[in-house]
Amino acid sequence: MSSYFWHLKFASTMIKIAEDEVYKNKYVTISSALKAFEEIIDAYCALSNLHFHEDPATGWKNRIDWIKEDKNLYLEWKKMIDLINLFFKDKSDKYIIEIISIAKKNIKNLEIYHNTN
């Protein structure tokens, strides 16, 4: 299995966990959705033979620098982070559902991107 498909499968698995935990443990849901988005980024990077996960010390800095080059992906990431911050502020379920929705939408966008390039 290629690195791209491994990251895609991992992202899909993390979203399933997020959905399964949404009414049980919102912190697991948020953590899983964040991990899914990380895997989405890594899958896009794998298509360009970039592997930020190989150096955990700089991985997130390099991911953020890389996604800033793709305004749409960066805005999706920023929206997710803003919703997570709003959730921690007032604990509303509406933010949790939207966080999952953003990650799922970006998995679909990744699949479309891969199939058209």
What are the boundaries of each domain within the chain?
3-116
The structure's pTM equals 0.89
> What confidence score (pLDDT) does residue 70 get?
85
Q: Is 70 exceeded by the pLDDT of residue 96?
A: yes
The domain made up of 3-116 has a fold known as Four Helix Bundle (Hemerythrin (Met), subunit A) (1.20.120)
Q: How high is the pLDDT of residue 51? A: 86
The single-letter DSSP state of residue 54 is G
The percent of residues in the chain predicted with pLDDT above 90, rounded, is 75
Amino acid identity for residue 109 in this structure: N
Model confidence pLDDT, tens digit, residues 10-59: 999 999 999 999 989 999 999 999 999 999 999 999 998 988 877 888 88
Q: How confident is the model at residue 8 (pLDDT cuts 50, 70, 90)?
A: very high
The alpha carbon torsion through 33, 35, 40, 42 (nearest 10 deg) reads 170
Distance CA 14, CA 104 (A): 10
